[in-house]
Amino acid sequence: MHKVDHTKNIIEVKNVSFSYGDQQVLKDISLNIHQGDYLGIIGPNGGGKTTLLKIMLGLLKPSRGTVSMFGQDICCFKHWSKIGYVPQNAVRFDTSFPATVEEIVTMGLYGKKGLFGSLNNKDKDKIREVLEQVEMTPFRKRLIGDLSGGQQQRVFIARALVSDPEVLFLDEPTVGVDVKTQENFYALLNLLNVKYNLTFILVSHELDIVVQEATEVACINQTLVYHGAPKDFMKGDYLSKLYGKELKFIVHDH
Every domain of the chain and the residues it spans: 9-243
Sorted by sequence, the CB contacts under 8 Å of residue 2 that are 6+ apart come out as: 35, 166, 196, 197, 198
pLDDT, residue 116, reads: 54
What single-letter DSSP state applies at residue 35?
Answer: T
What single-letter DSSP state applies at residue 47?
Answer: S
Sorted by sequence, the CB contacts under 8 Å of residue 223 that are 6+ apart come out as: 26, 27, 28, 29
SS3 74: coil
- Could you give the CA distance from residue 77 to residue 88 in angstroms, rounded to a whole number? 23
pLDDT, residue 243, reads: 67
**Element at 188 (helix H, strand E):** helix 179-195
CATH of 9-243, picked from 2.60.40.180, 3.30.390.30, 3.30.110.70, 3.40.50.300, is 3.40.50.300
* Single-letter residue type at 236: G
- Could you give the CA distance from residue 247 to residue 219 in angstroms, rounded to a whole number? 15
pLDDT, residue 245, reads: 58
SS3 161: helix
pLDDT, residue 250, reads: 47
List of the chain residues with pLDDT < 50? 250, 254
Within 10 angstroms of residue 254's Cβ, the number of other Cβ atoms is 14
